[in-house]
Amino acid sequence: QVHLVESGGGSVQPGGSLRLSCAASGSIFRFYAMGWYRQAPGKPRSLVAAITTGGTTDYAPSVKGRFTISRDNAWNTVYLRMNALKSEDTAVYYCNLLNDPACSGYVCYSEPLEDWGQGTQVTVSS
């Protein structure tokens, strides 16, 4: 089982930026796609960005053009750079392992594979 630890959240004003990190334990990281999810109060957890084993990236329409996902296989870490943050980005952010998608695009990713970590809180408010 892979242990996931998210970090980098915080409180920022609208228009600000944050970079989230997710460190994965073990040695299987590079064999899996990775995804960033978020869950706002009263809403289901949803995928916002994903990166395949080959480095292809996909984004939810609500964050495309503002968020950038990247990965460093040497450090078993996936990142989420978030720019131009909006109040609606406020949520707890989580990462998880995914299988590479069978088709191209954000909607093609299947269910996450591991137990969830503790997440990291992002609050966007003036």
Write out the chain's pLDDT in tens, 126 residues: 899 999 999 999 999 999 999 999 988 999 999 999 999 999 999 999 999 999 999 999 999 999 999 999 999 999 999 999 999 999 999 999 999 999 988 889 989 999 999 999 999 999
Q: What is the pLDDT of residue 94?
A: 98
Q: Measuring CA to CA, how many Å separate 119 from each of 62, 85, 87, 102, 104?
A: 20, 18, 18, 27, 27
Amino acid identity of residue 113, one-letter, is L
Task: Determine the pLDDT at residue 95.
Answer: 98
Q: How far is the CA of 32 from the CAs of 2, 17, 45, 90, 124, in angstroms?
A: 11, 27, 20, 27, 31
Burial class (CB in 10 A: 0-12, 13-18, 19+), 24: buried
Q: What is the reported pLDDT for 43? A: 96
pLDDT attached to residue 79: 98
User: Which 8-state DSSP code applies to residue 114?
Assistant: S
